[in-house]
Structure 1
């Protein structure tokens, strides 16, 4: 992506790094700016395996979506979906459930532009502009209402998203989602952790993200588990994502153990 003067008029802020565009660069994408790439270089100095981690996270997403689809989930809300890349949620789900319905949710203008262009011809997928910190906006969005029937189980994905919530926001956001979802719904999430890693590296990474509109918070296992309160974690529970249903037919990169992940079922 080139940095054109017209971007500001489209609501794209090129003066601060964007988490979505940084993640795109982690994955080798081209929809990012120099300010995003410089932020990534700073993260890489503290966490050289960051690109590997991003690929590992995508592999977890694929496994989790397959798991949910095989358990009968036919509709999904992917919150903080990021820029389109290979192996999007709807592509994975529709391999198992051909008429699976997917709502992608993001508030980054670049994500919204690309997502709408990609999904323009797919009646079972749509993009909603909303912020996860306001779950009512996500759940009641007109695009969500077009595809999601809250009388049936829903698969909610918050992949590499809940670590952007403060502890104060956790109760509100996760509680509202829990209350809105019918029995049998699934919550899938990943969260960065400092467990087993250098405190100095964690501090350096947090300082990079502090310069973005969405600071990141590293947490230990017990704190991450609280995001799943009200859900029954499916086996093997909340684990580093390399240990969650590894699939030899879809191998992930060598484990970084920077992320906890799990899938919870609403009773």
Structure 2
């Protein structure tokens, strides 16, 4: 994909495969994350911001890579448990090892609903998934569970009366305490059918505290501030769901591939199953 053209209304001035209405001269958090993962849905302005962010806070790129690797392992675990429908909240752009790619490698009939509140992420997601009748990108805010679940059910891709995988990977640390993350998660959990699985990662200040404090401060003035939480607060987000082994651990330590030996990122990760299975 070329990134030499500027944004604007003239289609002739835009690179191929850029969604209508997306200004590629303005950096996008979703595209910056895509770049950190090695994706192709990003442009020069996004790469410049990513380079500056990585220089100021090297932990950012580490977290992105660790999270995506954990996501792959978690989705495969859910597939082994028989899960074939997934609701991915705060998904960003569904590229580079996204849920539908991982799930379809096991079962081509797997269905995925991606949800994000970022219009740019959803616009790119719609483009990536065009022509795919088993995956869709929706615009909605994770902080409004009733709206999210209603929109997801309306797609016809998910049956909320059957077990599904609910994924919130690097999502809830963008939700401040004033929005009540524990209450939000309670609403989601009580809607899920027995046998459903919850996959969650969250920034913590209990690992590499100085680097995390710097990252939190760096992002505080921006459009997407982050909120680090301790193990107890993150554990509470799982409610009465039962954590699978090895429990809530640094993302790199959750069922790592043999031979993996990397530094722990300040991200706690866990997978839990709904009661009544």
Common fold by TM > 0.5:
yes
Equivalent residue number for residue 264 of structure 1:
272
Q: What pairs up with 1:28-107 in 2 under 5 angstroms?
A: 28-32=38-42, 36-37=46-47, 39-107=49-117
Equivalent residue number for residue 22 of structure 1:
32
Q: Is the 8 A contact 2:57 2:214 kept in 1?
A: no
Aligned residues: 263
Q: Is the 8 A contact 2:169 2:201 kept in 1?
A: yes
Q: Is the 8 A contact 1:21 1:31 kept in 2?
A: yes
CA distance in 2: counterparts of 1:211 and 1:39, whole angstroms: 15
Equivalent residue number for residue 179 of structure 1:
190
Following TM superposition, where does structure 1 have runs of at least 4 consecutive aligned residues deviating by more than 6 angstroms? none
CA distance in 2: counterparts of 1:213 and 1:80, whole angstroms: 15
1:218-266 deviation per Cα after TM superposition (whole angstroms, max 9, x unaligned): 1221221111112111111100011111123xx7672332211000111
1:65-119 deviation per Cα after TM superposition (whole angstroms, max 9, x unaligned): 0000110111100111111322210111122233111101112222222221222
CA-based RMSD of the aligned residues comes to 2.6
TM-score, normalised via structure 1 length: 0.87
Gaps of 5+ in 2: 10-17
Tell me how far 1:45 sits from its aligned partner.
Answer: 3.3
Structure 1 residue corresponding to 2:234, chosen from 219, 224, 248: 224
* In the alignment, structure 1 residue 140 sits paired with structure 2 residue 143: no
Structure 1 residue corresponding to 2:136, chosen from 123, 126, 133: 126
TM-score, normalised via structure 2 length: 0.84
CA distance in 2: counterparts of 1:59 and 1:75, whole angstroms: 20
Gaps of 5+ in 1: none
Q: Is the 8 A contact 2:241 2:274 kept in 1?
A: yes
Tell me how far 1:46 sits from its aligned partner.
Answer: 4.2
Q: Is the 8 A contact 1:18 1:213 kept in 2?
A: no
CA distance in 2: counterparts of 1:118 and 1:30, whole angstroms: 11
